[in-house]
Amino acid sequence: MKSTFFTILTLLALNVHADNNKEAAPLTIGFGSENQPYTMMDKQMIRAEGHEKHFGIEYSIIKQATILMHYEIKPKAIPPRELKKSIKKFRGMDIISGVTRSRKDKLYYSNPILEIAYIAVSKNNLNAGINSISNLSGFNVIARTGSYATIKDGYGKLYHPKKGSHKHKYKEYDSNIKMHADFWKAGSEAVLITTKESFNHFRMLLAGTHDTNEDVTINEIFPTKTRLYVAFKNKQIRKEFNEALEDLKFEGTYTRIFDHYNHEKNPDFHRPNHNEIIRQLKTNP
**Distance linking the first and last C-alpha atoms of the chain:** 77
Confidence band, pLDDT 50/70/90 cuts, at residue 240: very high
For the chain, give every domain's residue range: 2-32+57-115+226-260, 117-219
3 state DSSP class of 67: helix
pLDDT greater than 70 at residue 215? yes
Q: Quick one: what percent of the chain has pLDDT higher than 90? A: 62
Contact 216, 188 (CB under 8 A): no
pLDDT for position 285: 61
Residue 247 has pLDDT above 70, yes or no: yes
pLDDT of res. 3: 44
What average pLDDT is seen over the chain?
A: 87
**pLDDT score, position 8:** 36
Of 3.90.1010.10, 3.40.50.720, 3.40.190.10, 3.20.20.70, the CATH number of 2-32+57-115+226-260 is 3.40.190.10
Give residue 24's pLDDT: 54
Length of the chain: 285
pLDDT of residue 2: 42
Distances (CA, A) of 116 to 151, 166, 187, 220, 222: 10, 24, 29, 12, 10
The neighbouring-strand residues paired with 109 are 231
Q: Which CATH code for domain 117-219?
A: 3.40.190.10
Mean pLDDT of 216-240: 95
Please write the tens of the pLDDT for every residue from 13-30. Answer: 334 333 444 455 799 999
Burial of 25 per CB tally in 10 Å (0-12, 13-18, 19+): exposed
Among the listed ranges 18-27, 30-39, 74-83, 181-190, which one has the minimum average pLDDT value? Answer: 18-27
pLDDT score of 48 more than 80: no
**pLDDT tens-digit profile of 93-142?**
899 999 988 777 778 999 999 999 999 999 999 999 999 999 999 999 99
Q: What is the pLDDT of residue 104?
A: 77
pLDDT at position 25 is: 75
Give the per-residue pLDDT at 47.
80
What is the phi/psi pair of residue 265, to 5°? -85, -35
How does pLDDT run across 144-181, given as a tens digit for each residue? Answer: 999 999 999 999 999 999 999 999 999 999 999 999 99
